[in-house]
Amino acid sequence: MAIQDIYPTALRLLGRPVLVVGGGPVAQRRAKGLLDAGAKVTVVAPVASETLRGLADAGLLTWEPREYRTSDLDGVWFVQTATGTSAVDTQVAADAEAQRIWCVNASDHEASAAWTPAVAVVDDVKIAINAGGDPRRAMALRNAVATALETGDLPLRRHRKPGAGGSVALVGGGPGDSGLITVRGRRLLGQADVVVADRLGPRELLKELAPDVRVIEVGKTPGHHPVPQLEINRILVDEALQGNRVVRLKGGDPYVLGRGGEEAEFCRQNGVEVEVVSGVTSAISVPAAAGIPVTHRGLAKGFSVVTGHEELSEVPARPDHTVVLLMGVAQLRESAAALAGSGLPLGTPVGIVENGYLPEQRVTIGTLGTIADQAEAVGVANPAVIVIGDVVRVSPFAPQHFKTADYSTITPNRPRVRSN
């Protein structure tokens, strides 16, 4: 049978009687698929698998423990043969053909009046693929298409809006590189009707949206909030109540200094369904882009994340406790002085990572006593993450004199002298 002979369609078998002839693994698989479609399934086979017997015992299908009879086709809408015996499958197919009943013949796909495609379901989309009678080829193609839909590489967006109200997804986009958004976040972005976008985050992904997807810019810069938070909250709710799928695309993680909790609460208070998709927070990922771990055996067992606008008096003032400052460039000098006043040694290493993971990434490394002057000299600007603590010594960007001791990852808390 040539591929041109196939006319793709889908059967709606809800409540309709169907027949499966055979009781082995193939019959079991097909019977379960037919049950999922809502069909009334009868299995005819002298011996049935344990799973099929269990389905019969549960009243989900009928099992006739005997050989096939032509009369089994009476009143049937659809037939699947799966006996493993070519002669029996051929006879069932011939009887079905005589009664003009569609039949899938598992023993001979070329002679089969119908083919069962490889199927996957993503949300409410069902993918069905035939591949010239080659089931493994069909499954490989099905898996590839399903993965592309799951990851947002293929459009899963609805163009006919459902009758129910819309929804809001608070999506953490990560530090800016489009490859660091989660699979779930990318998928929801591909389904969006409206995207409410921050200044930071994976901006390149906005270029991949369909032309009719509306992008509402609400980005903030330090000291400049053109769209107040209350207005952002209102936009999310208003758009969702119009039936739109709304994605609030944020940099980093929505719940790490991102005001995502406020947005989620406002949506719920106004009867809007909201989903929160965690993102790769810049507090950890941007230091990692410069080779700085926020914890490291022998150097630091814990870390604190604060903004440069927060009081630092309660942060442990020790080089072995990492301090990560977000949005801290403007008050770097004051923050350094506050930490020094709390007892943190002026020789404590400090690293500043600007535009983490982006082509213009830049790393500036100094000490608590020198970093403010260094930052002013080179013109450090947001977006930037500031890391304070001995973990900065691990960075490949650190000056050589910072690396006089390399801490062991085998024996905890025991310095190992570098050999040159």
Q: Which residues have a catalytic role annotated?
A: 198, 220
* Measured distance CA(222)–CA(200) in Å, rounded: 12
CB proximity list for 104: less than 8 A, separation 6 or greater: 30, 79, 80, 81, 112, 113, 114, 115, 116
CB proximity list for 282: less than 8 A, separation 6 or greater: 174, 175, 200, 251, 252, 326, 356, 383, 385
Residue type, 381: A
Residue type, 119: V
Contact (Cβ atoms closer than 8 angstroms) between residue 62 and residue 56? yes
Among the listed residues 64, 17, 26, 23, the one whose alpha carbon sits nearest the alpha carbon of residue 47: 23
Contact (Cβ atoms closer than 8 angstroms) between residue 78 and residue 19? yes
Among the listed residues 293, 408, 287, 392, the one whose alpha carbon sits nearest the alpha carbon of residue 347: 392
Q: Please give the order of strands across the beta sheet that includes 273-277.
A: 214-217, 194-197, 245-250, 167-172, 273-277
Backbone angles phi, psi at 350, to 5 degrees: -135, 135
Both structure tokens of 35: 């049950």
Contact (Cβ atoms closer than 8 angstroms) between residue 190 and residue 122? no
* Measured distance CA(127)–CA(120) in Å, rounded: 5
Q: Which residue has the tokens 């809006």?
A: 161
